[in-house]
Every structure is written in C-alpha cells, then in structure tokens.
Structure 1
C-alpha cells in the first residue's frame, strides 16, 4: 500500500512547517502549500494545485488547513477595513476553497480527514484583532459543515486549537509579550497524527486543544459519552422556556 498523502497549507514556516515535518517523519507524503505554490484565496490556483496533487499522488488522505493571518491588535473602530477583510479572506475563504476542492477526491476514495487550525479566540469575541476572532468562529462552521456533509462518505473534520506555539506570529503579538509558557510544536504534531489515524473520529465536528488534550484523554472522554454540543460553538439558551431552545 502506498504511503498516505497529506496536504498542509501554510507549511513554509511556523506551525505548518512543524506539522509537515512531523507528518513526514510519521510516514506521510506531504504536499506543502505556500503562497509560492498557491494563494489560498485564489480559486483557480487552489483548484489547479489540488488537481495536480491528485494527479501525481492518486489520493489525498489528510488535509490540514493551517494557513492563516492575524490582524493588527487594535479595536474594531480603529481597525483598517482592508486588513480586516484580508484576514477574513485568508482565514475563512482559504480553508473553504482548499476543502471544497479536496473533498471530491476524498469522497471518491471513500474517506479522509480534514484538520482545521482553529483557536480559542474563535469561541469568544475579542476586544482587539476582531477579524481574527470572527474568522476562527466562521472556520468552526466550515468544520461543522464538512463533518455533516462528509460523514456519509467517510470524511471526518476537526477543529484543532494549537494553544500558543512560539512562532513569528505569536512573538509579534502584544498579547503574548512576556509569555514564558508555550505549547510545544510536538504536542500539536502528536494530536494531528492521532486525528489522522482515525482513533479520535468521535471528535469529528468538535474542537480539540493541543497542550491540554492528548489522544488518551480524548479517547477516555469520548468513551464516557459526548453530548451534542460538547466542544462546539453553540448558542446557550437561558433555559427550557427560551424560545430559541
């Protein structure tokens, strides 16, 4: 059997680079995405890139949507509209496009797994960098839709919050100035490998967090039972008499 094929966007640096290296060490053939290969917001470029990979490799087993940016850490009223929208395009349109063109190949092959690099920021509003928070919330909806439409075809999709890994991006952020505790890249790699293996498929459509969750803790929790809304971004009604309940 040929080696499994993984597609990793934004793999030239940061978390994406660590993931590509870790997947290769684990025996994956890794197709590394970068702006030089295909701008994730360019529909035609993404489609060509995915078709090229499928043509050369004959399969795509794992997609890791890692490419992302953060907007300047200022309030919404001080934000630059062009930068704000660019953040949304890269972080939302990008994963959508790559997933859109990879999924038919996974459907044809009988399955596959999609891991979207999300963030705890996506679970709440942000006083600053509002586009980043909004984009990660939207990304969780893409993950959920991928899970729902892909389940019948053997496709599973996960939100993975990597914690705070020491990268160029996090080092440039005012919110992490003086930070001494970081999530190790290996913890992120280990969790992606566990998701790719299928052992954590019960978490499809939900968020896991490197540095806090492990494959063992997630298996244990799944075995104890997961409620419909566990680890999802869900409206919380005020009680049973809430008309939105």
Structure 2
C-alpha cells in the first residue's frame, strides 16, 4: 500500500468497474483511504494501480458479499490494516434479463435478490459494530428509483431495491443513537456495461453524468446531508445545494420514503 496517511477510510463494494470505480476514485481524491472490494482481486488491478499512482492508500480485496464468512474476514482485514471504517458504500449489484415474471429464470431471479439484498445486509451487519465502537459512521446504499414503482420486466431488481430501502431505513432508525447514519443514493442512469446492455436503454442519448453521482456521494459522506438519513436522494435530479436548503427548512416525516399510500382518510392503513 501507499505510505500516504489519512484519517478517513471508505469501503466500497463492486469497485472494479462502472459506478463503483467512479465512487472509489472520487473518495480517494477526497482524501479517503479506500478498501476496494470485488469478486476477483485481479479485476481491481487497474483501479488500484491508478489510485496508488496518485499517492492514495488502496486496499484491494476479493469478497463475495453474499457469503457471511467472506464478508466478516474482509471487514477484519480492513480494520486491521486501515484501522477504521468511516464510510460503507454498498454498490455491488445484479440485474436480471428483461422478461415478465412468468418467463424469468428462477435461479437468475433469486440470485439478483441474494446479491442486492443479502449482500448489503451482510456488509452492514459486519461493519456497523465497527462504526459503533469508533463512535459512528455513514452507510450509503446504491439504490434505484426502480424500487419505488412497478416494472413489468424487472421484478427481481425492483423487489430487491424496495427491500434495500427497508434495510436503509431500519439501519438509520436503529443506528441514530450510535451515530450511524444510512442513506439511499439512486445514481440515475449512468452509462455502464450493465445499463448499455439493457433493452430499455437501447437508443438512449441522455445519461446521468458520473460526476453528479460522486458529488452527491461526497456530500453524504461529509455530513452535510445528515438530515437525509433513512431517505433517498437521486443523482442528476437533486443538486446538493437544494438538498442542503431542504434539510435546513426541515423535512416532512414522509419525504423521500417508500410508503403504502392509503386511498383516503377512511382507509384502515392510514391509522
């Protein structure tokens, strides 16, 4: 590792390419030591060499985020070598083939749920005790607006992102007294290998700028937007300054939360 020192440590899953590589790079440039995780350590070579070339401390680690033992071992290694974890970014994720649910491959469908839900759960489960012991920390779950509405051909992905929102909210609610905050960050539609391969994005000419995603991540990591803990923000649609203004004004209890909408005041679920 580089001899550069830092008092900020970020752990980023799915860091080898796409949005994850953008996030890891932005954090490194902002002064974080970065623990970069991917299924294969070899896939992190380019990122590691590039960031270390800039004098950044990078710890590349192979990790299957769906395996509890692998996650626990990696978290022990990160804390052992870097001393702490101030920020966890749950970015690793999958998407299924775009077909109606009755045409879906059962194993592929379930693997999306395992990766997108069990993965963040295991990472949070392992990292939060570290954060509590050190006095606090922040978690950013890379979510999606897709988790707030139905999609006829992506039932696994949308279900996983809805579930991830529940994980974020529960983590924020339980973690508040310990100084642990959690956020959902929807990156919009960034041009990556995954989005470029999707039928729904064929012919798309307007993409979310990765810089919008990284700017929002850094604002969440800095503490500027702590009032948004437990809520969703979206790159490309939510300027950081606007989010600051809204937080200063006071956020409504239901702002940016996924909730069941009652049909009216006489709906029993409204009680």
Aligned to 2:78: 53
**Is residue 190 of structure 1 aligned with residue 215 of structure 2?**
yes
Within 5 Å, which residues of 2 pair with 1:158-177?
A: 158-177=183-202
CA distance in 1, matches of 2:128, 2:134: 10
Provide the alpha-carbon RMSD of the alignment: 0.9
| Counterpart-to-counterpart distance in 1, 2:197 and 2:179 | 39
Query: Quick check: 1:65 aligned with 2:69?
Result: no
Match 1:40 to one of 61, 65, 78: 65
Matched, 1:239 2:239: no
Per-residue deviation, 1:225: 2.1
1:100 and 2:125 correspond: yes
Alignment of 1:112-127 (within 5 A): 112-127=137-152
Corresponding residue for residue 80 of structure 1 = 105
Task: Choose from 223, 238, 242 the match for 1:213.
Answer: 238
What per-residue deviation string (whole Å, max 9, x for no partner) do you get for residues 29-71 of structure 1? Answer: 0100100211110110000000110111111000000000100
1:22 aligned to which of 6, 14, 26: 26
Partners of 1:18 and 1:68 in 2: how far apart? 15
Q: Distance in 2 between matches of 1:171 and 1:55?
A: 38
Provide structure 1 residue ranges, at least 5 long, that are not aligned to the other structure: none
Structure 1 residue runs of 4 or more that deviate by more than 6 Å after TM superposition: none
Q: How many residues align?
A: 245
SS in 2 for 1:113: strand
- 1-structure distance, mates of 2:201, 2:192: 11
Whole-angstrom CA distance in 2 between matches of 1:184 and 1:81: 34
SS in 2 for 1:33: strand
**Displacement, 1:156?**
0.6
SS at match of 1:100: helix
Report the equivalent of 2:8. 4
Q: Verify the 8 A CA contact 2:185 2:232 in the aligned structure 1.
A: yes
